[in-house]
């Protein structure tokens, strides 16, 4: 048998598609799809879909002919799975692009971050839309509101959530109370945000009086949403602390509560802190609970306990549904998208911050 | 032997243990109390609406006639969302766990989690401003060619703000939930089973069919149910995107309404009996989502013992 | 600074399950005693009753007496926390606190109990404990570095220093070398030889050669079968146990016929 430079033929390689087969099929699919789209009116989205379908059909049938049904099914599965991923990316890219395109003009308008909507009426918007006057009004009040309400919600949620997770991990031991708490905390993660808002509203109606709408009520509503997240993530972090550390502490004659506060929690603190940050990131974008509890103000209100308060999400919502000038919704849209961009930036910063915190506070192993 | 040197100890420390464990338990009980309180207050505030004479309630035929079409609308939107999201989510989860190159897998998981980080109001704004406009031509096409099917009955909405659009936006929001749960479950498939399948000469897809999917089935089901719970309760995606109206079978016309959107749109300006009505609607939503979530969690806990992942 | 331990009719339970039955043993002050026996015979369980760590597990309890120089560890009104300041423990896997420096690890027993101690006294205690654990020369220049940055053998000696710093009467060691390489094991065994000048040491070990090297007296535990309680079979000078045991089970075990 002469050794050849060409590809060796062995019993293990026969009956396979050539390695460059997918690329051939891809190229053909793109061309044919372009031709089809040229006939019925070209748009990029349609071209992509038709090309994808042609690619899948082409590759799978070619594989079926050469390699057999089993491998063809495998290739079909691969096409579908990769396709699913690409489909999932589409809305992500679309949302981000939309927010950027529509939000940047709003964000760079001078005064956007520093002013509120105090005094901005439909007349101003009409002038802006029809005569090119600058778009007035900004999100300062909403930004402040978001920060204050979220801060208050955090102050309520973190102690309650952390103490509960400590109870579940350190003292619970499968007791009925612990099992009940775990089960209902899980259930709480599924409470619709608007129901949490209704609860806080109803709670304050009953206690303080009907029609109470303040930032504090909104903070309570957000706490209902935050607490289960804090409990779950803190619980996971506490469970990760090796039992050996607790035993080492007990063996030194240290009491349980001191062991928890001085050994267990410091070891778990990075995970706990990043869990709390993620919980904040989750509730900072909630609209419904704030809508039903804090109303929506147009002026700056720094008192969490009195009067309506604006927040970024409710600002966006109201600007879109009830534009300041119904005949010229353009400026309202611009402000809304600017606010949306700010909100997304905040959420991304919080998510990033959570990762950084996790890394920063992790117990170091300096060698 | 009467005096024991070991009994002279720090008494104060002992009290510390009791105080601390008491505080921890109190925090846990507070959560139970809150949950109980949610149900209680909602019921108390809802009762006037449930017992009021039918003529006083919006629509004039009593509470159940008012809420029934809205419940149906809620279910329609949720079902649309799940029908779209589930296959895509499972595909993405499989992609990340079994198809993507190892080094990319973590990064790709993060990208999908980005979908979850975007606030719902932004999705609603996107749905209203972008998706509705872009998808409107497709609705016209559906009405023209498939209009004989009741759900595609024309004339299609000119703005594209229909329950189908809202359902699509909902599916995007529900996708990351189902994906991340499924992904974790697929990653937990015992390597032994996967290797056994591969050693028998299975292709990658056959290995997944034999080892990964059967192992993950209860987890997938509970992930779907959690996604369902989210879809049922989501407000902004619907309130901003749907042009609401009476219950309609056609998915491409404006009309239909969900509970959450109904509450969000009407509560700020409501007063008197209307408030009670909306709270009663919230109670209905709470009960439905509670049931769905409890079933989902029950499935997970029941199978944790068998999953071998401890 | 070291006390004798006298155990009388001790039965150790996990809930209703009797794990170790009827132990009677007298351990002298300033000696090294080794507990040997096959896996699952209850030697670690019994060791943990000597500093009341056994009851940290839910449902675990003990009947009988453990006397420390005459004081019953399980007497009425006795606080387990006090017991553990007198009877220290070193575990199988080194477990320095990862969030603390070497210095703080050594002082952990003091600091975690909020006992006030001047900086000078603290420094002296750190040096004394690390010297006592044969670790001082290796770490004296990096006392502020994290404890988890040391090698396995060094970490274990750090844990021993941590146990010594509390100034206990007795040091219990639960298979302290089983996670260490041979060189570190030798270092720890040398250390045990020095520790017995000041402390009563009880060491559980799987390694019979180690027991022969290190201990004055040896106790052999055995178990009749799974589900049955463990028992103390024989307790005598180490040389007798290994060369001339009086029980057949002991002889079978030390000559390698089972275990």
pLDDT exceeds 50 at position B234: yes
What's the pLDDT at C106?
Answer: 92
What's the pLDDT at B291?
Answer: 87
**Of A92, A38, A19, A80, which is closest to residue A55 (Cα–Cα)?**
A80
pLDDT interval class at B87 (50, 70, 90): very high
- Enumerate residues 6+ apart whose C-beta is below 8 A from A359: A270
State the nearest Cα–Cα gap between C248 and chain A, in angstroms: 36
Give the mean model confidence (pLDDT) for residues B270-279: 84
Chain B interface includes A239 (CB < 8 A): no
Residues paired with C217 in a beta bridge: C33, C237
What's the pLDDT at B310?
Answer: 35
Q: B295-310: per-residue pLDDT in tens?
A: 887 887 777 655 444 3
What's the pLDDT at C236?
Answer: 93
pLDDT exceeds 60 at position A325: yes
Give the mean model confidence (pLDDT) for residues C30-56: 91
Q: Which of residues 327-346 of A touch B (CB under 8 A)?
A: 333, 336-337, 340, 343-344
pLDDT exceeds 70 at position A220: yes
- Mark B174-206 as b/e (b = at least 16 C-beta within 10 Å): bbbbbbbbbbbbbbbbeeeebeebeeeebbbbb
Instruction: Give the CA count within 13 Å in the CB-facing half-sphere of A105.
Output: 14
Coil, helix or strand for C220? strand
pLDDT exceeds 80 at position A305: no
What's the pLDDT at C24?
Answer: 94
Say if the Cβ atoms of A251 and C149 lie within 8 Å: no
Tell me which of A203-217, B294-308, C110-124 is least confident: B294-308
Tell me the chain B residues in contact with residue C70 when contact means C-beta distances shorter than 8 Å: 1
Q: A256-302: per-residue pLDDT in tens?
A: 888 999 899 988 888 888 889 889 988 998 888 888 887 777 777 77
Cis peptide before C145 (omega within 30 of 0): no
Q: Kindly report the average pLDDT of chain B as a whole number.
A: 84
pLDDT exceeds 50 at position A238: yes
Give the mean model confidence (pLDDT) for residues C92-114: 87
What's the pLDDT at A367?
Answer: 40
Q: Could you count the other beta carbons within 10 Å of the beta carbon of residue B80? A: 21
Chain C interface includes B51 (CB < 8 A): no
Host H or E run for residue C17: strand C17-27
Cα torsion through A326, A329, A335, A339, rounded to 10: 90
pLDDT exceeds 60 at position A5: no
What's the pLDDT at C117?
Answer: 84
Distance CA B58, CA B68 (A): 13
Instruction: For helices A265-283 and A140-166, give the axis angle rounded to 10 degrees.
Output: 140
Q: Which of residues 2-61 of A touch B (CB under 8 A)?
A: none
Q: A134-187: per-residue pLDDT in tens?
A: 777 788 888 888 998 999 999 999 999 999 999 999 888 778 999 889 888 887
What's the pLDDT at A7?
Answer: 52
Task: Quote the tokens at residue A315.
Answer: 């600002």
pLDDT interval class at A247 (50, 70, 90): very high
- Enumerate residues 6+ apart whose C-beta is below 8 A from A268: A234, A237, A238, A240, A241
Distance CA A111, CA A335 (A): 11
Distance CA A144, CA A346 (A): 13
What's the pLDDT at B90?
Answer: 94
Question: In terms of CA atoms, which chain B residue is nearest residue C79?
Answer: B7
Host H or E run for residue C214: helix C208-214
Distance CA C140, CA C124 (A): 12
Q: A60-99: per-residue pLDDT in tens?
A: 888 888 888 888 888 899 999 999 998 988 898 999 999 9
**Which residue has tokens 């102690």?**
A159
State the nearest Cα–Cα gap between B20 and chain C, in angstroms: 15
Give the mean model confidence (pLDDT) for residues B70-83: 93
> What percent of chain A stands above pLDDT 70?
94
Distance CA A353, CA A279 (A): 12
Cα torsion through A206, A207, A212, A216, rounded to 10: -130
Give the mean model confidence (pLDDT) for residues C206-220: 91
Tell me the chain A residues in contact with residue B175 when contact means C-beta distances shorter than 8 Å: 88
ipTM for the assembly: 0.83
pLDDT exceeds 50 at position B166: yes
User: What are the start-end ranges of the H helices in chain A?
Assistant: 21-40, 44-67, 69-108, 122-131, 140-166, 176-188, 193-207, 215-240, 243-251, 256-259, 265-283, 288-294, 312-321, 330-361
**Of B163, B192, B110, which is closest to residue A351 (Cα–Cα)?**
B110
What's the pLDDT at B2?
Answer: 42
Chain A interface includes B203 (CB < 8 A): yes
Number of continuous H segments (helices) and E segments (strands) in chain B? 12, 0
Q: Kindly report the average pLDDT of chain A as a whole number.
A: 84
Chain B interface includes A163 (CB < 8 A): yes
What's the pLDDT at A1?
Answer: 46
Instruction: Give the CA count within 13 Å in the CB-facing half-sphere of B298.
Output: 6
Q: Which residue has the higher pLDDT, A146 or C115?
A: A146
Coil, helix or strand for C21? strand
Q: Which of residues 273-292 of A touch B (CB under 8 A)?
A: 281, 284-288, 291-292
Instruction: Give the CA count within 13 Å in the CB-facing half-sphere of A278.
Output: 22
Domains and CATH numbers, chain B: 52-306 (1.10.3720.10)
Give the mean model confidence (pLDDT) for residues B41-55: 82
DSSP string computed for B275-302? HHHHHHHHHHHHHHHHHHHHHHHHHHHH
Chain A interface includes C114 (CB < 8 A): yes
pLDDT interval class at C174 (50, 70, 90): very high
What's the pLDDT at B279?
Answer: 87
Compare CB distances from A363 to C51, C88, C99 and report the shortest one's residue. C99
**Of B73, B120, B70, which is closest to residue B281 (Cα–Cα)?**
B70
Give yes or no for a contact between A158 and A219, defined as CB atoms under 8 angstroms apart: no
Say if the Cβ atoms of B92 and A98 lie within 8 Å: no
What's the pLDDT at B74?
Answer: 92
Chains in contact with chain A (at least 3 beta-carbon pairs closer than 8 A): B, C
Chain B interface includes A209 (CB < 8 A): no
Give the mean model confidence (pLDDT) for residues C192-216: 91
Distance CA B130, CA C59 (A): 62
- Enumerate residues 6+ apart whose C-beta is below 8 A from C182: none
Q: A48-61: per-residue pLDDT in tens?
A: 888 888 888 888 88
Distances (CA, A) of C221 to A252, C53, C208, C253: 27, 20, 13, 10
Q: B11-31: per-residue pLDDT in tens?
A: 556 788 888 889 999 998 988
């Amino acid at each position: 048998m002469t050794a050849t430079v060409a590809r060796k033929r062995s019993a293990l390689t026969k009956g396979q598609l050539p390695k460059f087969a997918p690329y051939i099929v891809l190229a053909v699919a793109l061309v044919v799809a372009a031709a089809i789209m040229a006939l019925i009116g070209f748009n990029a989205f349609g071209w992509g879909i038709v090309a994808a379908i042609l690619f899948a059909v082409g590759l799978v049938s070619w594989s079926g002919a050469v390699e057999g049904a089993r491998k063809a099914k495998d290739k079909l599965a691969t096409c579908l799975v990769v396709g699913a991923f690409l489909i999932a990316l589409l809305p992500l890219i679309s949302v981000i692009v939309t927010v950027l395109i529509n939000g940047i003009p709003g964000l760079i308008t001078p005064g956007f971050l520093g002013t509120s909507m105090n005094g901005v009426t439909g007349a101003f918007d009409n002038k802006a839309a029809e005569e090119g006057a600058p778009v007035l009004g900004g999100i300062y009040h909403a930004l402040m509101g978001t920060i204050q309400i979220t801060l208050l919600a955090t102050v309520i949620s973190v102690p309650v959530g952390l103490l509960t997770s400590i109870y579940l991990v350190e003292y619970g031991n499968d007791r009925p109370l612990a099992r009940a708490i775990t089960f209902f905390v899980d259930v709480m993660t599924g409470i619709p945000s608007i129901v949490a808002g209704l609860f806080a509203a109803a709670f304050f109606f009953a206690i303080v009086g009907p029609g109470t709408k303040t930032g504090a009520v909104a903070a309570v509503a957000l706490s209902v949403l935050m607490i289960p997240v804090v409990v779950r993530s803190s619980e996971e972090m506490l469970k990760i602390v090796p039992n050996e550390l607790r035993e080492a502490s007990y063996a030194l004659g240290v009491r349980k509560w001191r062991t928890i506060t001085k050994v267990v929690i410091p070891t778990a603190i990075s995970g706990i802190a990043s869990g709390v940050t993620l919980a904040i990131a989750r509730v900072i974008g909630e609209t419904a609970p704030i809508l039903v509890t804090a109303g929506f103000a147009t002026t700056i209100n720094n008192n969490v306990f009195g009067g309506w308060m604006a927040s970024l999400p409710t600002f966006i919502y109201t600007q879109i549904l009830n534009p300041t000038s119904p005949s010229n919704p353009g400026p309202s849209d611009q402000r809304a998208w600017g606010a949306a961009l700010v909100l997304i930036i905040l959420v991304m910063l919080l998510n990033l911050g959570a990762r950084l915190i996790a890394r920063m506070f992790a117990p170091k192993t300096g060698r | 032997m009467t005096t024991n040197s070991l009994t002279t100890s720090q008494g104060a420390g002992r009290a510390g243990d009791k105080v601390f464990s008491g505080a921890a338990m109190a925090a846990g009980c507070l959560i139970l109390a809150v949950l109980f309180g949610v149900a209680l207050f909602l019921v108390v505030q809802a009762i006037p609406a449930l017992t009021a004479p039918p003529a006083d309630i919006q629509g004039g035929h009593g509470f159940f006639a008012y809420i029934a079409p809205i419940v149906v609308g809620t279910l329609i939107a949720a079902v649309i969302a799940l029908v779209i999201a589930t296959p895509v989510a499972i595909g993405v989860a499989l992609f990340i766990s079994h198809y993507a190159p190892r080094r990319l897998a973590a990064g790709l998981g993060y990208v999908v989690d980005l979908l979850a980080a975007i606030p719902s109001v932004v999705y609603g704004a996107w749905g209203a401003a972008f998706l509705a406009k872009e998808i409107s031509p497709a609705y016209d096409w559906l009405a023209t060619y498939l209009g004989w099917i009741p759900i595609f009955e024309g004339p299609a909405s000119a703005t594209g703000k229909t329950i189908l659009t809202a359902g699509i936006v909902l599916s995007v929001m529900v996708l990351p939930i189902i994906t991340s749960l499924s992904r974790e479950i697929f990653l937990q498939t015992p390597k032994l089973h996967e290797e056994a399948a591969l050693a028998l000469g299975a292709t990658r897809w056959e290995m997944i069919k034999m080892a990964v999917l059967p192992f993950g089935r209860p987890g997938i089901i509970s992930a779907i149910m959690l996604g369902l719970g989210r879809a049922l309760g989501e407000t902004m995606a619907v309130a901003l995107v749907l042009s609401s109206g009476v219950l309609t079978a056609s998915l491409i016309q404006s009309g239909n309404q969900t509970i959450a959107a109904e509450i969000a749109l009407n509560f700020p300006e409501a007063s008197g009996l209307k408030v009670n009505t909306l709270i009663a609607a919230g109670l209905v939503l709470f009960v439905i989502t509670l049931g769905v979530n409890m079933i989902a969690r029950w499935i997970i806990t029941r199978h944790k013992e068998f999953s071998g992942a401890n | 600074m070291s006390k004798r331990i006298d155990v009388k009719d001790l039965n150790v339970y996990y809930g209703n399950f009797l794990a170790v039955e009827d132990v009677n043993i007298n351990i002298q002050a300033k000696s090294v005693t080794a507990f040997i026996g096959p896996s699952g015979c209850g030697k670690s369980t019994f060791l943990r009753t000597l500093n009341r760590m056994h009851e940290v597990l839910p449902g675990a309890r003990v009947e009988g007496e453990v006397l420390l120089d005459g004081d019953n560890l399980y007497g009425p009104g006795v606080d387990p926390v006090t017991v553990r300041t007198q009877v220290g423990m070193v575990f199988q896997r080194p477990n320095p606190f990862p969030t603390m420096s070497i210095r703080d690890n050594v002082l952990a027993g003091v600091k975690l109990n909020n006992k006030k101690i001047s900086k000078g006294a603290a420094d002296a205690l750190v040096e004394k404990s690390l010297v006592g654990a044969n670790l001082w020369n290796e770490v004296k220049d990096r006392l502020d570095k994290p404890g988890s940055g040391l090698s396995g053998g060094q970490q274990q000696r750090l844990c021993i220093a941590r146990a010594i710093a509390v100034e206990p009467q007795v040091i219990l060691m639960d298979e302290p070398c089983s996670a260490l390489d041979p060189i570190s094991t030798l270092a720890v065994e040398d250390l045990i030889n020095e520790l017995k000048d000041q402390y009563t040491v009880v060491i559980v070990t799987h390694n019979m050669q180690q027991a022969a090297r290190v201990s004055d007296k040896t106790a052999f535990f055995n178990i009749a079968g799974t589900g049955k309680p463990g028992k103390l079979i024989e307790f005598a000078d180490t040389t007798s146990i290994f060369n001339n045991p009086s029980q057949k089970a002991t002889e079978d075990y030390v000559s390698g016929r089972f275990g």
